[in-house]
Amino acid sequence: MENKIPAYLVKPVADQKDLSETKGPRLAFLDKTILNSARAAKAIYVQAENSTVQSVIQKINPHIKLISLIYFLFIISIANRIEAQAVITAFIFSLYVLAKLKVFEVYKRTFLLAFIFGFVIVLPASLNLVTPGRIILNIMTFNKPSHFLIYTIPQNIGFTDDGFKVVLLIFLRILNSVSFGMLIVFTTSFPLFVKSFKILGVPDTFLMIITLAYKYIFILSRTIEETYFAFKSRLLGNIKNEKIREVISGRIFFIFKKSMRFYENTYNAMVSRAYQGKIILHSQKKLSYHDFVALFIIVVSGICIIYFL
């Protein structure tokens, strides 16, 4: 049989240029970006997987979950006692256990957020400069108090017990709000949760746009990751960062064009299925006995927390 294979293709790899001394391309900055993008895709997977676990929490209708979220955020914001917030924390934790979620994984993130926004940022507010009271931790002592216009710097500067209570209250509020929000997100299919906003009067078209955006983030993350791997698999030798940037900007343009094409085709698919400018979405399934029980428990728990604590 006639062989038309170019000569270089039958040459052994060992005969080609030795690349052992060549420095590899510097892609650390890219790796980081791509890994973050891949992480976004993975997060969507994890969220979808969690929402399909069959437990009492996952089974609750997304409408009830949305109402519960709004109601509970209200309860958290008006509960002014640390004891009340602590009870709410315990209550939310028990819901996590019921939902069979990876409690440690979720709380790790929640605590980090609560620590930054509820502790580090508000900690200065517990100083006697801001919140007067009995100092329980002295951090600085001057010879005498100083006065400047309407401000007074006291002789001793330190954290007050009232200040600490305020910080702890804010920390718990943030912890509870974030963890309850995460509980809802992790136990509800995102598209169904978005659809539940229908009860708040959000137009169907807007809900569809959010759903599509979510879908595109997922598709785009995967495309970016795959494009990057294809790119990396063909990169050898010491390539200048400038060249890499040039290639990447070309790839970004390609992905942008691809998204445009995707959007046009999706629009055609909508038109072919009778879309004429106004989207009509179906409301979700009817509420079950289970949903009413869940709503009752949430409402009664909220009232008890406010009334008794």
Partner 1 sequence: MEEIISLKNINYSYYGKIPALKNINLSVKKGEMVAIIGLNGSGKSTLLHIINALILPDSGEFLFSGNPVTEKSVNNKTYGLQLRQTMGFIFQNPEIQLFCPTVFDELLFAPLQLSLPVETAVDRAEKTLSFLDIEYLKDRPVYMLSGGEKKKVAIASVLTMNPEILLIDEPLSSLDPKTQTFFIDLLLELNHAGKTLIFTTHHLDLVDHLQPRVAVLSDEHTIQKTGTASEILNDEEFLISVNLIHEHVHKHENGEHKHFHSHYVFHKH
User: Contact positions toward partner 1, by CB under 8 A?
Assistant: 1, 44-45, 48, 189-192, 194-195, 207-208, 211-212, 215, 218-219, 262, 265-266, 268-276, 279-282
- Compare residues 166 and 208 and give the one whose CB is closer to partner 1: 208
Question: Which residue type, as a one-letter code, is found at position 42?
Answer: K
CB of 296 to partner 1, least distance (A): 24
- Compare residues 100 and 215 and give the one whose CB is closer to partner 1: 215
CB of 184 to partner 1, least distance (A): 16
Strand pairing class (156-160; 135-141): antiparallel
CB of 65 to partner 1, least distance (A): 14
CB of 251 to partner 1, least distance (A): 20
CB of 212 to partner 1, least distance (A): 6
CA distance 67 to 72: 8
The token pair that represents 156 in the structure block: 């001793």
- Compare residues 76 and 194 and give the one whose CB is closer to partner 1: 194
CB of 42 to partner 1, least distance (A): 13
- Compare residues 152 and 266 and give the one whose CB is closer to partner 1: 266
- Compare residues 177 and 221 and give the one whose CB is closer to partner 1: 221
- Compare residues 58 and 128 and give the one whose CB is closer to partner 1: 58
